[in-house]
Amino acid sequence: MPSLPSQAHGAASRTANSNWLEHLTRGGLVGYGVIHLLFAWLILQIAFDGSGTDGDQSGALHKLAEKPFGTFLIVVIVIGLIAMIIWQLLEAAIGHRAERGRHRVYERIVSAARALFYAYFVFTGIKVLRGKKSSSADTQQKASEDLMASTGGRLTVGLAGIAIAAVGIGLVIYGVQKKFEKHLKMSQMTAKMRRLCDRLGVAGYAAKGGAYGIAGVLFLVAAVQYDPDKARGLDATLNVLSEQSYGPWLLALTALGIAAYGLFSIVQARYRKV
């Protein structure tokens, strides 16, 4: 008789291979791409129109909620993201069959981290659906203020900044080295589609990694200078870029990179190994 762990592993494997989960996950990838396209549009508005909207993904969802059928679209996106959480948790639990040894352990850890990241987006989407106006940037700033008022809080914020910066550097390396290819069904793509996918992936991961890298540095500066205003995540990053020479054009370049990542996510919906 199979042991309880082996039965659980078998159940997880069957769920991971189910058609309904695959379809929902692919829909979630489309929704994830749409969020980044909206985020890119928001950055352009900040660059050239001086929009007062928070420059992060929550700001993009608030903008979407204001449009016709926006609430319905956010519900669809949230459902897709929940499927992506389940998918990544299953990958973390059983691992991908193609991976072996230490690399498989690393991939399982990364899958668990992705699940947490998608859960953050689901939480943000639910807050928007409930009509809450507080942004992710406000939440991060308030949390930083509370932390820095406590013993060891500034150290915690500083360590968080280092971790975020490290994630940003990792995303840039991941994109430039085209490591995303191993998760895609490259053999099913035409030569033209492969070139397009590579360009979108490299540009998208580089832009996203750069934004997170700057955000991490700002968290570290916030801890050193005791300035919670700098601990606002991507919103603070965009503010810093806008204050530089040629700020609007730097923001426009960032928007193009984020849009590339959004389009890459939509391409993944068709070719991702799920």
CB-based contacts of 183, cutoff 8 Å, min separation 6 = 268, 272, 273
- Looking at residue 243, its amino acid is E
Q: Residue 54 belongs to what domain range?
A: 4-271
Higher pLDDT pick, 131 / 166: 166
Looking at residue 168, its pLDDT comes to 92
Neighbours of 273 (CB within 10 A): 11
What's the number of domains the chain is made of?
1
Looking at residue 69, its pLDDT comes to 79
Looking at residue 20, its pLDDT comes to 80
Q: Taking 80 as the threshold, does the pLDDT of residue 192 lie above it?
A: yes
pLDDT of 226-274, one tens digit each?
766 666 666 667 777 777 777 788 888 888 999 999 999 999 999 998 7
Higher pLDDT pick, 118 / 12: 118
User: To the nearest whole number, what is the mean pLDDT of the chain?
Assistant: 79
Higher pLDDT pick, 106 / 2: 106
